[in-house]
Structure 1
């Protein structure tokens, strides 16, 4: 039987659809019962009978740091997809990020070892990959992480989680790690998901930024995860990026797909410097949640281009063009609203 942690998230829900569609026996964890509706909603995009597919899943309520519940979830499990994570770039959320992403992953790794799990697939992020000083040089899996960089709290904890997975591999656990770029998929239009970008663009964005980063379709991510778990590949990590695009290009393409006006004003670096400081002041004085950290402002204008050749060569995989992904997800968003 297969265990999927974080089954109610963007990657987890799409992965579950793929697994049950392939007649795999699946168990999945969730934290709150109300989030199960998200999975059914995602299933409804791609099936005329989503309820039947959903009912094939054995669900178990388990927090990532609730060891007794996790032990119950691991009964009769042979393979694990660890998708559960906390996504936030707010500096004040560092403790909960560590608790969920690092300590939680350590728990999963320890239980995999204790239960002699055949293979673990961990969903990390390009945030956990190192960066070059040369913005035109492609970043690959060998690019060294520099702890002295001004890394975001999210990046720090995802990197720490990867260290726990590599520890597991040294203790005999077969593992694969995937490092997706910004994952484009439907059904999650709020919070830290990329779906919130579609919502923001639809509602109108005044400013664009010229930073560059990597994007990937959610179906590419789950397909690659499945293929890696079915293969003999072990103890390797893979960057999952279809294309490197500027934020301006992504915003414009998405606005066109949503039939709204794209942002026309550039947010200059000096403006972003002022903005993140004002955001910090509002947090300190008024207690408002952070919406723009220093690291976010920096990444908005940073040029980070990723090399996907390792994955493409190993699996002979062709990524979905991002333009197609944008159109597909935009259509789902418009249907939902």
Structure 2
């Protein structure tokens, strides 16, 4: 039995689907209020037999603050894919991120220690990587630098990684993957699922860039790494780095909208000062933090060579990925699903 946390998220649902395609029995974690019908709906974009696969999922409500709930969920489980996480860059979500991402991971690993779990894959983020190699690239040897300003999200993911490495040192077979921004279908109003609606609604973008990867690639790689027992290692999963303006305008042109205007760093810094004085009055200004501004105005070169060599893997090009999932987004809008 395989246990997948965050199974209603943009990545977790596809890991579940890919595992089912391989004939695995899957237990999928959800919250009581989770919309699993939306997951079922999104499967039609990924397979010709969505109903057949969906009915094979064993859904279970899990409370990550309750050890007994987690121990019950792990009954009979030998492999875990830990995808559950809170993703946000808004200061108001800091406490929830620390509770969900750090404490939730700690509790899950404690429950694994009391179970028959043999393999554990943790989904982290490229946000935890600092420091470049001799080629000026971020790679798997890049270490988190606590002296640098980080978002609360990056800190929470770094500390959750520390819990995984600790479990690894104590004997659990673990793998960490660090994907870039995941491009996928469904879950349109949360986390990276908001990519298309954000660029649709906003006529502004930023001068920096980010690294992107298709959800189908992340799911396939995660399962392949577990199958090849690549334990005690981390793997960066990105296809390409692209300017926000390039991604935004590809989306906006497909939606028959004008190209987005780039907000300069100086304008954003003005917003940061306004946040200091008027953030209490204008909630949107709360996002204008030093770390957020640095993130959206900077660019990094990130290496994906390790996983490409280990698995002989070719990533889906970002433009192709955007086209595929954007068409799904548009079709969902036509069906009034958003």
Structure-1-length-normalised TM-score: 0.93
Match of 2:178 in 1: 179
The CA distance in 1 between the partners of 2:15 and 2:278, in whole Å, is: 39
Partner of 2:62: 62
Q: Contact 1:29 / 1:60 at 8 angstroms: preserved in 2?
A: yes
Q: Is 1:294 equivalent to 2:262 in the alignment?
A: no
Correspondent of 1:234 among 231, 237, 261:
231
**Cα deviations by residue, 1:29-82 (Å, 9 ceiling, x for unpaired):** 101344212211221222344233212111110122221111110000000000
Asked if 2 retains the 8 angstrom alpha-carbon contact of 1:213 and 1:306, the reply is no
Deviation at 1:176, TM superposition (A): 0.5
Is 1:218 the counterpart of 2:218 in the alignment?
no
**How many angstroms apart in 2 are the aligned matches of 1:302 and 1:240?**
19
Offset of 1:282 from its aligned partner? 4.8
2:199 is the alignment partner of 1:201: yes
Unaligned 5+ segments in structure 1 are none
Cα distance in 1 for residues equivalent to 2:289 and 2:99: 21
Q: What is the SS of the residue equivalent to 1:80? A: strand
Q: Output aligned runs, 1:132-211, within 5 Å.
A: 132=132, 137-191=136-190, 193-203=191-201, 205-211=202-208
Question: 2:71, 2:115 within 8 Å by CA — same for their partners in 1?
Answer: no
Q: Deviations over 1:195-221 (max 9, x none)?
A: 322112223x33232212211000000
Tell me, yes or no, if the aligned pair for 1:257 and 1:326 is still in contact at 8 Å: no
187 and 289 in structure 1: CA distance in 2 versus 1, 3 angstrom threshold:
farther
Q: 1:131 to 1:292 in 2, by over 3 A?
A: farther
Name stretches of at least 5 consecutive residues in structure 2 with no aligned partner: 334-338
Structure 2 length normalisation: TM-score?
Answer: 0.93
Residues matched between the structures, number: 333
Provide the rounded CA distance (Å) in 2 between the counterparts of 1:282 and 1:333. 35
Judged with a 3 Å threshold, the aligned counterparts in structure 2 of structure 1 residues 217 and 281 are, in CA distance, closer, same or farther, namely farther
Preserved CA contact (<8 Å) 2:133 2:139? no
**1:131/1:144 contact within 8 Å kept:** yes
The 8 Å contact of residues 214 and 318 in structure 2, kept in 1 or not, is answered as: yes
